[in-house]
Amino acid sequence: MQEKIQIVLETLEGDESVPMVARRHSMNANQLFIWRSQYRRGELGAGSGDERAVKLLPVQVEPPVVSKQAVITPDESSIGADGCMEIEISGGRHVKIWGRIDAKALRVLVRELLRPC
């Protein structure tokens, strides 16, 4: 079983095509395609799964910081002070959003922040 997984990983991690990997291991490429499907469904044992799957990001929830002096900028009055969201992504990407946070806009923002530069 471990040998099957190793051969499948060669096709997922390397630059070679599935037929090339199959030839190197003296096997039929169709069989290797079946093993890849089984691997993605988790049917080849522990550790199986699509390595390119979505990975969850760690989230840290902190209580709001209340300062003794409130500083109001001209923009805050127009968007309302319903809350604040701050997103930090490794590599120095950072954004802070004040006011009402629209779920659709937030999804677009997070997707763009996670997109490779």
pLDDT tens-place string over residues 44-62: 865 545 455 556 778 788 8
Residue 31 phi/psi, 5° resolution?
Answer: -65, -40
Write the DSSP symbol of residue 42.
Answer: T
The yes-or-no verdict on residue 40 having pLDDT over 60 is yes
Residue 71 pLDDT: 46
CB atoms under 10 Å from CB of 61, counted, come to 4
Q: Which residue has the tokens 């989230």?
A: 59
- CB crowding 2-33: b at 16 or more within 10 Å, else e: eebbebbebbeeeeeebeebbeeeeeeeeebe
Percentage of the chain modeled with pLDDT above 90: 16
Task: Name the phi and psi angles at 28, rounded to 5.
Answer: -80, 135
Q: Are 63 and 85 in contact (CB under 8 A)?
A: no
More confident residue, 64 or 30: 30
State mean pLDDT over 91-96: 71
